[in-house]
Amino acid sequence: MNEQTAVGVSAGKRKKWSIRKKAVLMIVLAALLLTGMLAAGWLISPDKLAVNLAARNGQPSLGHLFGTDWMGRDMLARTFKGLTLSFGVGVLASLVSVIIALLLSLLASVHQVFDTVVTWLIDLFLSLPHIVILILISFALGGGFKGVIVGLALTHWPALTRLLRAEVLPVLNTDYVAISRRLGRSRFWIARQHLLPHLTSQLLIGFVLLFPHVILHEAAITFLGFGLPADVPAIGVILSESMRYLSTGMWWLAFFPGLMLLLMVGTFDMLGRHVRKLADPFHSQNG
C-alpha cells in the first residue's frame, strides 16, 4: 500500500510539473506574439499612414501585404496601429474594472449591509443587456476615448466581483481572522491585511481574462459609431469604414483587420487560461 501510494504521489507530481511546463511555454509564446504585434504598431512611422492616391484600392501584394484602402493608405500599417490603440484602451479599461471589483468585494466583507448592496448591484448589471448599457454610457459621455473607457470599465466588473466575493467569504471564517477580531482589529484592517493578499492571484487572472472581452466590446461599439472617433485608426473604425467597399470586391479591407483582431483576442485568452493553470494546475483539465 505504501509503495502504491508513493507511486501515485510521484505520478501526481510529474503530471503537475508537466502541466506547469506546458503552461509556462504557452505563456511565453503568447507574450512573444503580443509583444511582436505591439512593437510593430509602435515602430510604424506616421508616413506609412499617409494618403497616397496613386496607390489607392490596391490588392494585397509584396509592397502592401494587407493591400491599400480607397485613399491609398497601407492597411498593414493601419491594422497594427489599430491593434496598438485597442491594446491601450483594453489595458486601461480592464485595470479600472479590476479595481472596481476589488473595492466592491472588500466592501462586501466589511458589513452585511454592504454585502447586500454589492450583491444587488452585481445582479442588476448582470441582468441587463451588456452591449446596450455600454452604448448608453458611452453615448451619454459623448463617445470618444473617455466615453469608451468609462463605459467598458463600468460594465465589466460584475462577474469578477462575484468571483472575488466568493473567494473572500471563506477567508472571513478562518482562525487567523477570528484572532484579529479578538485583538480589536477593525474590519478595514482585516480586509487590507488578510483579504487583499489572498486575492492577488485572482486579480491578475481576472485582469488577463477580462482583456479579450474589453477589446471585442470596444471594437463593437466603435463599429456601431458609439465608440472611438473616426479620425483614429482603431480596428472598429477600420471595419466600419470597410463595409461601404465590400460590395465592390475590396474584401481585404475587412478581412485582415478582423483576422488580426481575432488573433490578438485569442492570444490573450490563451494567455489568461494558462496563467490560471499555472496558478492552479488542476483547476481545469480541459484546454
Q: Which tens digit of pLDDT belongs to each residue from 68-95? A: 888 888 888 889 988 888 888 888 999 9
pLDDT for 286: 45
Domain extent for 162: 83-279
CATH code for the domain in which residue 182 is found = 1.10.3720.10
161 is a domain residue: yes
CA gap 170, 177 in Å, rounded: 10
235 is a domain residue: yes
CA gap 53, 161 in Å, rounded: 51
pLDDT for 98: 92
Q: Number of folded domains in the chain?
A: 1
Q: How confident is the model at residue 189 (pLDDT cuts 50, 70, 90)?
A: confident
pLDDT for 201: 79
C-alpha closest to that of 269 among 66, 79, 90, 82: 90
Q: Which three cell numbers stand for residue 123?
A: 445582479
For residue 287, pLDDT over 60 is answered with no
CA gap 40, 83 in Å, rounded: 10
7 is a domain residue: no
pLDDT for 72: 84
94 is a domain residue: yes
29 is a domain residue: no
pTM of the shown model: 0.78
For residue 9, pLDDT over 50 is answered with no
For residue 10, pLDDT over 60 is answered with no
Helix (H, G, I), strand (E, B) or coil at 161: helix
Please state, rounded to an integer, the average pLDDT across all residues of the chain.
81
**122-135: average pLDDT:** 85
For residue 29, pLDDT over 80 is answered with yes
CA gap 129, 138 in Å, rounded: 15
**158-187: average pLDDT:** 81
For residue 285, pLDDT over 50 is answered with no
CA gap 166, 221 in Å, rounded: 31
Which range has the worst mean pLDDT, 60-64, 206-210, 279-283?
Answer: 279-283
Residues above pLDDT 70, as percent of the chain: 90
98 is a domain residue: yes
124 is a domain residue: yes
C-alpha closest to that of 194 among 210, 213, 173: 173
pLDDT for 7: 43
